[in-house]
Structure 1
């Protein structure tokens, strides 16, 4: 029998060092994230490992699993605790060492292993840890699997099994880099900035971009788990502004910014302007649909409305499928629908055949942008951006809201706008044209201006995005309207950034 984990234990006590601690809110919709030491301890991580193994056996999946860890000062320790739990539950572990999340996903294919457990807190601040998991490549766990895993771990419903083993795969990054770069070199000589925020991608991104024929200007590529300048998050304006300055100073053609575990990519054009990932998605959709007319693209609900209204995409008979935000939701939708690519505003892009294997990889995204520029040798990145219909978009804005409260707040906001639509009330001065409630609420008014509110799946926050095809003022009007609804809930705190 195993003891049930405690939700909270005081550090530097007998209990903390002898009992598992796992805060229930760390089990999120499609992965797991905790503040190490405050919400989970290493014994709790071991319990998580036993839970993963128990669930894999319960699902009837072959008990072979790939694991790796990101470049945080504590991630290797977390991984070894996780491995001990997985081995106790009969899992045969292949450890690829320090890795990007997409490197672990690639290892599932390259090593013919069905399961993955990647230790990473992605772009979260230092202090956070987490695990991205899956048992059916290239998909990762969704709400059903995470709910069952939570039940197993919190109630200590473990089934230990013999047969667990451990194998370290030496020099696996070379296999991953070779897979990405075994292709013709670019014809166009591109100067690119590779910004990594001192995160894990710094060990790999410059090598990959150089190998495909780019001249690389590295920016914060030395690994430093204190993240001394800014958090490696390509949605963070500090990182984007650093990329802008580097691109302008170097006269680069494009700047790429990679997040902490390398599954996302942000882009700055040759004029230093940040291009939000959903607009990059429209540009790539234009480029790819010219080669593959009639292609289907899955798009998350945070993304621009241009996927449905852009005249070039309409001419190329593109099918746009707006879906739930979140890498697990998007990955599953792309694979089940046979879409060519899935685009998420956060910068997760899911390239299916012939470009990828259906998982999110920031380096594949960067290569796709380089290929687009290669196919348009007479156009700059800013030319391609300026060819899109003009819209005014906000960055992703995240007001604090406790994990225990955020979903209830979002339910209340959804009901507010549903009631407003029924009563014919105006939002930002105009009637509601459309509501999408597949993931929070996306309210669109008469002139196409829209605003989104949803719960963050991996942090104690809400997510707010607004866009207008009419004017910057209309975008601001929508933000004022949406924020006004949120301010009726005192549980909603300050934003991380606003327009």
Structure 2
């Protein structure tokens, strides 16, 4: 009988090497993330595989799964520990090797396999590991599935049927690339900076973008799991600034930045100006709704208010639904509403047919951006950005807050703003006209300026975003108000980046 996992064990001891360790907080809202060796060990990962296999049987899903791993020094070892657990639970494992996360999602379709388990810590710092899981393509697990998986693993309530098997799918990236690039080439020449932060996407970016006719300038595409320059995260200003510098140096039409597991794409325009992913989403929504009047979109609560107020989207009859932040939430909402696209401020985009298959893929997003430019040959990326109504917004800012405390802190912040609204208190002279609490709290002032606070779903952090359609001063004033409310809670630490 496999033992129950311990919450903590001391590395380099007999217990650490002979017992599973799994910290409960690693089971997050829609995927799993742990600090490897501090919060989970290899036997703990094996327990996770057993739990996932058990859950697939409970759900009545055919016990077959696609798996792969990202480019970190420890990811292959973690994947094989996961595989042994899955096989012990009677699951047939199709291993596609080193890959981006979207390749595993594609594998569900290409190999006709219902489930997926991708070993990746995405854009998290080195030391982190995790698994993105699903059992109904193109969806990934949400809170219900993750909650049940947590119960099974922590209680060691495994159904170890045995009879599992393993097969390695040779050269699977070739099949993915062939499918992805089986489309018309761009009609107009375009120079593109492709930055990968030395993450997994670097193995494929230049080849994929070149295949559709782009002139590619590779930046940090050599694989190096130490991430020597910056974390491969297109929300990180260090990465965006590096892309901007290369765009200006080479005269590129656009800079594209891919995250550590290749499911997100960040954008820098031809002048070297970083464009936050929600604004890129508005530009794409304009382009898509012009071709498809009345198109339905889904966006997360961190995103710009322009999806509702932009005159071009209104004229095109576009409909937008604001929903919970998180790739699993937005993916499901896109599926439920049969929306054309779902956009997240983090850069996860979910294109339904005919553009994509409903899951997030940074290269599909890149193609959509290049197609938009190709359809507007007389306009640069900067022109398209400048065509949008002006707003002043912050990057995503994340003050530290322990996983065990962050949801309680958010509840206190929500209660505080509700109390302010009920008492008629003003924020920088403006009444509070709306509180959107579908995911944390988005407090909206009368002039449209808003500030968001929510708990991060994958790190011990809170998330803060602010935007104003009026002025930079109003944006900064709202940030000061939001930060003041946050600082009423001593559990809130320093920001990773701030304005």
For Structure 1 versus Structure 2, the TM-score category normalised by the shorter chain is over 0.9
Partner of 1:6: 6
Partner of 1:334: 334
Q: Check if 1:202 corresponds to 2:197.
A: no
**Unaligned runs of at least 5 residues, structure 1:** none
Following the alignment from structure 1 to structure 2, what is the Cα–Cα distance between the partners of residues 474 and 282? 22
Partner of 2:264: 264
Partner of 2:459: 459
Partner of 1:392: 392
State the Cα deviation string for residues 362-412 of structure 1 (Å, max 9, x = none).
000000000000000100000000000000010000000000000000001
* TM-superposed deviation, 1:457: 0.1
SS of 1:217 mapped into structure 2:
strand
Q: Check if 1:403 corresponds to 2:433.
A: no
Q: Check if 1:51 corresponds to 2:51.
A: yes
Following the alignment from structure 1 to structure 2, what is the Cα–Cα distance between the partners of residues 390 and 178? 40
Following the alignment from structure 1 to structure 2, what is the Cα–Cα distance between the partners of residues 126 and 325? 24
* TM-superposed deviation, 1:418: 1.0
Following the alignment from structure 1 to structure 2, what is the Cα–Cα distance between the partners of residues 188 and 409? 51
* TM-superposed deviation, 1:163: 2.3
Partner of 1:353: 353
Q: Check if 1:233 corresponds to 2:237.
A: no
Aligned ranges 1:139-218 → 2 under 5 Å: 139-218=139-218
* TM-superposed deviation, 1:179: 1.0
SS of 2:184 mapped into structure 1:
coil
Partner of 1:129: 129
Q: Check if 1:244 corresponds to 2:244.
A: yes
State the Cα deviation string for residues 167-193 of structure 1 (Å, max 9, x = none).
100000011111111011001100000
How many residues are treated as equivalent by the alignment? 499
* TM-superposed deviation, 1:161: 1.0
Partner of 1:469: 469
State the Cα deviation string for residues 137-165 of structure 1 (Å, max 9, x = none).
10000000000000000000000113200
Which consecutive aligned stretches of 4+ in structure 1 deviate over 4 angstroms post-superposition? Answer: none
Partner of 1:283: 283
Following the alignment from structure 1 to structure 2, what is the Cα–Cα distance between the partners of residues 429 and 108? 53
Following the alignment from structure 2 to structure 1, what is the Cα–Cα distance between the partners of residues 218 and 141? 34
* TM-superposed deviation, 1:256: 0.2
State the Cα deviation string for residues 442-469 of structure 1 (Å, max 9, x = none).
0000100000000000000000000000
* TM-superposed deviation, 1:427: 1.8
Following the alignment from structure 1 to structure 2, what is the Cα–Cα distance between the partners of residues 138 and 184? 25
**Unaligned runs of at least 5 residues, structure 2:** none
Following the alignment from structure 1 to structure 2, what is the Cα–Cα distance between the partners of residues 111 and 230? 35
Following the alignment from structure 1 to structure 2, what is the Cα–Cα distance between the partners of residues 422 and 103? 49
Following the alignment from structure 1 to structure 2, what is the Cα–Cα distance between the partners of residues 425 and 2? 57
SS of 1:364 mapped into structure 2:
helix
Partner of 1:363: 363
Following the alignment from structure 2 to structure 1, what is the Cα–Cα distance between the partners of residues 428 and 416? 14
Partner of 1:485: 485
Give me the TM-score of the superposition, normalised by structure 1: 1.00
Q: Check if 1:412 corresponds to 2:412.
A: yes
Partner of 2:26: 26
Partner of 1:442: 442
* TM-superposed deviation, 1:241: 0.3
Partner of 2:92: 92
* TM-superposed deviation, 1:423: 1.1
Partner of 1:71: 71
